[in-house]
Chains A and B, each alone.
Chain A
């Protein structure tokens, strides 16, 4: 795989300000996501991680600031001009609550982006693609013809991931993908993301509260606090920073446990 060069940037955010009425959520955010990296985004509940993701993918209009995805400006322009559509086919999004289409089966959900962007695709091939995607994300075959209401919470997450991966995107947005998964499933999920990154050269924007995920797969971690990105770096770099929230996060009891388990799995 081509190792991404330093200046090869997938997402570039400059001076982003987001607000709901009087409530300012982001006050001048600068962030770069390099091509081919898995960037973890952490921060307390309600610090605006999901809002940050929504503004990158154009669902939340920022008050000010610039956002570029693959060099394409995301803040201006309409939803449907050709370039915006072209970017949309190059990313996949897993929402925090899954956001599956409730009137379609899991397999049909996975086919929606395929139908939308590649209407000429052979229907049989489309069915096969949906089949292996179902299996790839670790769902049992029986889940294919089921409706989202008939799935467990964790299965819904996986189905959402399968839909996000439907177009083999270059950029993947994941909002708390492992929340609600059992530890074994969560570890398999981490491995899947890592495999996909290694084989497909994916760039991943990963929001998570899962310390094990951070240790296992993230190349860099961005910390969101006080309406800003207060630090970006590897876990090692972050743990040595003198920021109270970061200290508490990584050196608190759960943080310690995750470091220990990461160290143990590193040994064997």
Chain B
């Protein structure tokens, strides 16, 4: 496409299926590095490990 370069096609809705919906095994976000804020997008999904 002349006017658009897609960096990432998007897959958030795929992360909304039965396998992925909140199994809760992943890390608690505030614990990982900061202890003063929560950032979630850099967390790892245990189902994809």
Judge: A and B partners, yes or no: no
A residues whose Cβ falls under 8 Å from a Cβ of B: none
